[in-house]
């Protein structure tokens, strides 16, 4: 005797007939799943948009900025770079720009009578700094050419704020080691080098002449041809300080920022967890509706058994129905979540980055949750005694 069988495509048709005949109930049940998926997609989408935006910002600033710093010797003494180090580094063909910066061990104040600690540092910057660090003046101008030997200063954005100077005007000075320096410019914030925001820069010649500073650079900043960064990096320590390459540290400021973009995970996970809870509640809703549906459709189940459906066919019908129901919710949720991401990111002026794999996982997860939610009602339906199920009920 041949067993009864159903074509796979027909099985899907059977599995969705219950949904098609009760569209209102289908929509209401799908909403629960939709909310869960939408919130998860939105959380992922918004955070990845924000990350994409930050990375794009870093890229626009240039990831080809490298930083060479004198470090410490094995004995713990500070080991500045040789005076000639900038010139040496400049000879590497892949280096396009460079600038040396000398950290001066002194304080900067609004005037010579003040003595409050303000956490600001004083830097002597040499030629090439404006270009290499992409310095831009928010107010006033930068130190250029001959002004490097004059007693003038440019303030980092945070330094300006702490010193109480909001814009450049005639007669505004700061006091560095007892000397008055005229403030000629205030810098825009530097995303790649936030340390420099807390510094006051003076020309290197002014530092040598007026303050008697040593010419050993503390840090050399350099721009490298972007495709040659990894090849250039290992050469730098040896080139900058051939006598003690171990004491030189080479870093890439954009790396730190990129790492920061990835760190902000805690809140994201909390929100994802909340979305997961909504999803589980939605799944319970699906199970609930399916149990009711099985009770209501005893007659249909009995009829199908009489027409030759095996228990497995009935079970598949209800599992497919539950999975489809949740899958519809998942799709609605994915669309909703993407829309929220788009709206939020656009409002923030970010790049819109909708995580496609996240969407696929969302819809797939919804299908899975639906199928799991459908297992119990489906096995209840499959176990119904056909003779009992076809009996007319009051």
Partner 1 sequence: MSVLRLERVCRYYESTPPVKALHEVDLEIEAGEMLAIVGPSGSGKSTLLNVMGTLDRPTSGRVWVDGEETSDMSDGALSGLRSSQLGFVFQGFHLMETVGIVDNVATGLLYQAVPKRQRRDRAAAALTKVGLGDRLDARPTQLSGGQRQRVAIARAIVADPALVLADEPTGNLDSSTSRDIMELFANLNQAGATIVVITHDNELADQLPRTVAMSDGQIVADRVKAISQAAGGVS
Nearer to partner 1, 1 or 356 (CB): 1
Q: Which stretch binds partner 1 (CB under 8 A): 62-70, 107-115, 305-313, 339-347?
A: 305-313
CB neighbour class for 392 (10 Å; exposed up to 12, middle 13-18, buried from 19)? exposed
Q: To which residue do tokens 């939105």 refer? A: 42
Q: Which of 389, 175, 220 is nearest to 299 (CA)?
A: 389
Nearer to partner 1, 9 or 74 (CB): 9
Q: Which stretch binds partner 1 (CB under 8 A): 46-54, 132-140, 186-194, 311-319?
A: 311-319
Contact status: 7 vs partner 1 (CB under 8 A)? yes
Contact status: 27 vs partner 1 (CB under 8 A)? no
- Over the window 112 to 151, marking each residue x when it contacts partner 1 by CB under 8 A and - when it does not, the resulting string is ----------------------------------------
Contact status: 20 vs partner 1 (CB under 8 A)? yes
180, 211 in Cβ contact below 8 A? no
What residues contact 82, with CB distance under 8 A and at least 6 apart? 88, 216, 240, 241, 243
Contact status: 4 vs partner 1 (CB under 8 A)? yes
Binder of partner 1 out of 233, 252, 311, 380 (CB under 8 A): 311
Nearer to partner 1, 107 or 304 (CB): 304
Binder of partner 1 out of 169, 281, 284, 306 (CB under 8 A): 306
Q: Which of 161, 186, 166, 183 is nearest to 174 (CA)?
A: 183
Binder of partner 1 out of 256, 277, 281, 387 (CB under 8 A): 387
Contact status: 24 vs partner 1 (CB under 8 A)? no
Nearer to partner 1, 26 or 341 (CB): 26
Q: Which stretch binds partner 1 (CB under 8 A): 15-23, 250-258, 281-289, 350-358?
A: 15-23
Instruction: Tell me the number of residues near partner 1 by CB under 8 A.
Output: 32
Nearer to partner 1, 20 or 262 (CB): 20
Contact status: 391 vs partner 1 (CB under 8 A)? yes
Q: Three-state SS for 127?
A: coil
Q: Which of 138, 105, 143, 110 is nearest to 121 (CA)?
A: 105
Q: For residues 154 and 163, what is the distance between their CA atoms, to the nearest angstrom?
A: 12
Give the shortest CB-347-to-partner 1 separation in angstroms.
43
184, 168 in Cβ contact below 8 A? yes
Q: Which stretch binds partner 1 (CB under 8 A): 89-97, 121-129, 247-255, 384-392?
A: 384-392
Binder of partner 1 out of 151, 310, 340, 344 (CB under 8 A): 310
Binder of partner 1 out of 186, 190, 309, 371 (CB under 8 A): 309
DSSP tag of 251: E
Contact status: 313 vs partner 1 (CB under 8 A)? yes
The helix (run of H) or strand (run of E) holding residue 247 is none
DSSP tag of 116: -
Question: 247-265 in b/e burial notation, b at 16+ Cβ within 10 A?
Answer: bbebebbbeebbeebeeee
Contact status: 83 vs partner 1 (CB under 8 A)? no
Contact status: 2 vs partner 1 (CB under 8 A)? yes
350, 52 in Cβ contact below 8 A? yes
Contact status: 307 vs partner 1 (CB under 8 A)? yes
Cα→Cα distances 106→109, 117, 174, 218, Å:
10, 11, 13, 14
Q: Three-state SS for 235?
A: helix
Phi–psi pair at 249, nearest 5 degrees? -115, 135
205, 125 in Cβ contact below 8 A? no
Contact status: 302 vs partner 1 (CB under 8 A)? yes
Binder of partner 1 out of 305, 315, 319, 355 (CB under 8 A): 305
Where on the chain is the footprint of partner 1 (CB under 8 A)? 1-7, 10, 14, 17, 20-21, 299-300, 302-313, 385-387, 390-392
């Amino acid at each position: 005797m041949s067993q009864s069988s159903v074509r796979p495509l027909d099985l899907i048709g059977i599995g969705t007939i219950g949904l098609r005949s009760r569209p209102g109930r289908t929509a209401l049940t799908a909403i629960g799943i939709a909310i869960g998926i939408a919130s998860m997609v939105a959380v992922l989408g918004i955070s990845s948009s924000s990350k994409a935006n930050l990375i794009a910002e870093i890229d626009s600033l240039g990831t080809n900025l490298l930083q060479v710093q004198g470090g410490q010797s094995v004995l713990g003494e500070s080991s500045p770079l040789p005076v000639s180090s900038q010139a040496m580094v400049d000879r590497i063909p892949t280096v396009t720009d460079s600038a040396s910066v000398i950290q001066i061990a002194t304080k900067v104040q609004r005037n010579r009578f003040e003595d409050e600690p303000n956490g600001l540092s004083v830097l002597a910057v040499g030629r090439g700094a404006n270009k290499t660090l992409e310095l831009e003046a928010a107010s006033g101008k930068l130190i250029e050419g001959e002004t490097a030997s004059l007693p003038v200063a440019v303030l980092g954005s945070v330094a300006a704020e702490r010193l109480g100077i909001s814009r450049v005007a005639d007669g505004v000075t700061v006091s560095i080691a007892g000397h008055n320096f005229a403030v000629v410019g205030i810098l825009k914030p530097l995303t790649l080098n936030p340390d420099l925001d807390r510094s006051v820069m003076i020309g290197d010649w002014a530092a040598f002449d007026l303050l008697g500073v040593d010419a050993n650079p503390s840090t050399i900043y350099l721009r490298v041809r972007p495709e040659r960064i990894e090849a250039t990096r290992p050469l730098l320590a040896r080139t900058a300080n051939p006598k003690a390459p171990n004491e030189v540290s080479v870093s890439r400021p954009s790396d730190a920022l990129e790492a920061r973009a990835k760190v902000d995970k805690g809140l994201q996970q909390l929100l994802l967890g909340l979305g997961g809870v909504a999803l589980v509640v939605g799944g319970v809703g699906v199970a609930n509706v399916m149990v009711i549906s099985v009770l209501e459709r005893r007659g249909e189940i009995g009829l199908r058994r009489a027409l030759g459906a095996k228990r497995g066919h009935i079970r598949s019908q209800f599992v497919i129905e539950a999975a489809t129901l949740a899958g519809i919710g998942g799709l609605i949720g994915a669309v909703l979540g993407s829309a929220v991401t788009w709206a939020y990111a656009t409002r923030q002026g970010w790049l819109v980055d909708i995580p496609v794999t996240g969407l696929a996982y969302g819809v797939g997860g919804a299908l899975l949750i639906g199928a799991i939610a459908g297992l119990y009602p489906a096995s209840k339906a499959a176990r119904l005694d056909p003779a009992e199920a076809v009996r007319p009920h009051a």
